[in-house]
């Protein structure tokens, strides 16, 4: 369950991941290196199996609120900031 929470959190703060995740959750999770249990996958498919347009809109609203709060109270940061998981292409370059 912790990894599913991390996936949802990453979708909230990283628009690049979110776009890939909402288009094809299983492929995005594999590409970005998340490892989910069978139960996590079942819950993910139930939660994100439809209504992608509405989910995208709501996640964008959440992203904007989170970054506004963060920037107002702590520091300015670019999107996606260090709260998000590293992009797979960045990890490949580092290896």
In this prediction, residue 28 carries a pLDDT of 92
- The residue range of the domain holding 53 is 2-94
Q: Locate all alpha helices (DSSP H) within the chain, ordered by sequence.
A: 2-13, 15-23, 25-32, 38-48, 52-73, 88-94
Number of domains in the chain: 1
Q: What is the dihedral sign for C-alpha 50, 47, 11, 74? A: positive
In this prediction, residue 79 carries a pLDDT of 78
Q: Across the 95 residues of the chain, what is the mean pLDDT of every consecutive 10-residue run? A: 84 91 91 90 85 88 88 74 74 58
In this prediction, residue 85 carries a pLDDT of 77
């Amino acid at each position: 369950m912790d990894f599913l929470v991390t996936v949802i959190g990453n979708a909230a703060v990283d628009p690049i991941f979110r776009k890939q995740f909402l288009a094809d959750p299983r492929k995005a999770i594999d590409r970005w290196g998340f490892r989910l249990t069978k139960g996590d996958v079942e819950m993910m498919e139930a939660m994100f199996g439809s209504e992608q347009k509405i989910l995208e809109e709501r996640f964008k609203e959440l992203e904007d609120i989170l970054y506004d709060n963060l920037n107002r109270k702590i520091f300015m940061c670019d999107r996606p900031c260090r709260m998000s998981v590293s992009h797979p292409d960045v990890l490949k370059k580092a290896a």
